[in-house]
């Protein structure tokens, strides 16, 4: 498995920690998912009356790598400030960088994203940028020093899957040495399998598990699906073709006259 800023993960599954019905269900979901990374919002950790302290202890007990994010930030200044606060609280240089530019789709503001990435990399952060499948934006981010890209599959929380398979496939082909994580839009395990079959290195999701009728069971379903996609991609799957091809050879077949 590809490493992420020098860290090799046990599994290619990154799972969010928001919206679960209870702390126990969150814990059960992580246990059954075998996720290697938990994404955590600074806003939740910094909440009042010690709720944030309890939540942080819960996350520490999961025994996974923590990836703080700048969820909800809408400007370069806000994202950079949040990242610095997250580094202080979580004691990690990892940061999932989100800069939102449009409210209805939560579309990344790629111009602000590139600028915030430049500042944070100069400040010693390992940036995981939440971006689109745009090749030019990706090139800017990689040239700044990003060793990971996190293109969306679809808008956050939409469950629509991979809206632009062509674009994601092109992104993977143009940057073969960069770790890529599909982030946002995944709603079904089959969609996660598809993403891994495209050659992605990991899947990050939250809502599809947290809002399921049985989050722990759904987390396990995603774990199986991600593994299946990973195996399939490694096995070099057959390419689609326009014409039929018989699975049983006709050579040597008997003919009746």
Could you report the per-residue pLDDT of 55-105, keeping only the tens digit for each? 888 888 899 999 999 999 999 999 999 999 999 989 999 999 999 998 888
Residue 130 pLDDT greater than 80, yes or no: yes
Instruction: Give CA separation, 52 vs 43, 49, 58, 86, 94, in Å.
Output: 9, 8, 10, 13, 20
Residue 36 pLDDT greater than 80, yes or no: yes
Per-residue confidence (pLDDT) for residue 242, from 0 to 100: 82
Per-residue confidence (pLDDT) for residue 52, from 0 to 100: 65
- Closest by Cα among 45, 51, 48, 35 to 68: 45
pLDDT tens per residue, range 161-181:
999 999 999 999 999 999 999
Per-residue confidence (pLDDT) for residue 149, from 0 to 100: 98
pLDDT tens per residue, range 7-27:
999 999 999 999 999 999 999
Residues 38, 59 contacting (CB under 8 angstroms): yes
> What whole-number percentage of the chain has pLDDT above 90?
78
- pLDDT band of residue 241 (cuts 50, 70, 90) is confident
Residue 141 pLDDT greater than 80, yes or no: yes
Q: What is the mean pLDDT of the chain?
A: 91
Instruction: Give CA separation, 215 vs 19, 67, 141, in Å.
Output: 10, 21, 34
Residue 253 pLDDT greater than 80, yes or no: no
Of residues 41 and 1, more confidence is placed in 41
- State the Rg of the chain over Cα: 20
Per-residue confidence (pLDDT) for residue 51, from 0 to 100: 59
- Closest by Cα among 94, 133, 142 to 114: 142
- Closest by Cα among 168, 210, 172, 205 to 190: 205
Q: Is 96 a catalytic residue?
A: yes
Q: Which of 96, 147, 211, 253 is catalytic?
A: 96
- pLDDT band of residue 255 (cuts 50, 70, 90) is low
User: What pTM was computed for the model?
Assistant: 0.89
Per-residue confidence (pLDDT) for residue 1, from 0 to 100: 64
Of residues 115 and 44, more confidence is placed in 115
- Closest by Cα among 96, 232, 103, 89 to 151: 96
Mean of pLDDT values over 175-198: 96
């Amino acid at each position: 498995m590809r490493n992420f800023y020098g860290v090799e993960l046990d599994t290619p599954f990154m799972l969010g920690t928001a919206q679960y019905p209870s702390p126990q269900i969150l814990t059960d979901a992580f246990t059954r998912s075998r996720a290697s990374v938990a994404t955590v919002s600074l806003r939740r950790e910094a909440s009042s009356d010690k709720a944030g302290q309890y939540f942080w202890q819960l996350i520490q007990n999961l025994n996974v790598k923590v990836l703080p994010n700048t969820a909800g930030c809408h400007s370069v200044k806000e994202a950079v400030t949040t990242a610095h606060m997250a580094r202080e609280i979580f004691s990690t240089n990892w940061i999932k960088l989100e800069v939102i530019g449009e409210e209805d789709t939560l579309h990344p503001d790629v111009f602000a994203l590139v600028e915030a990435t430049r500042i944070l990399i100069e400040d010693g952060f390992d940036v995981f940028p939440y971006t689109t499948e745009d090749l030019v934006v990706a090139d800017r981010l990689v040239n700044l020093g990003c060793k990971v890209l996190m293109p969306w599959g679809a808008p956050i929380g939409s469950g629509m899957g991979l809206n632009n398979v062509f674009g994601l496939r092109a992104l993977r082909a143009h940057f073969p040495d960069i770790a890529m994580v599909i982030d946002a839009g995944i709603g079904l395990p089959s969609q996660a399998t598809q993403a891994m079959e495209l050659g992605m290195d990991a899947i990050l999701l939250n809502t599809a598990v947290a809002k399921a009728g049985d989050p722990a069971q759904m987390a396990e379903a995603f774990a199986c699906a991600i593994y299946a996609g990973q195996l399939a991609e490694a096995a070099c799957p057959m390419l689609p073709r326009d014409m039929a091809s018989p699975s049983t050879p006709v050579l040597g077949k008997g003919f009746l006259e």
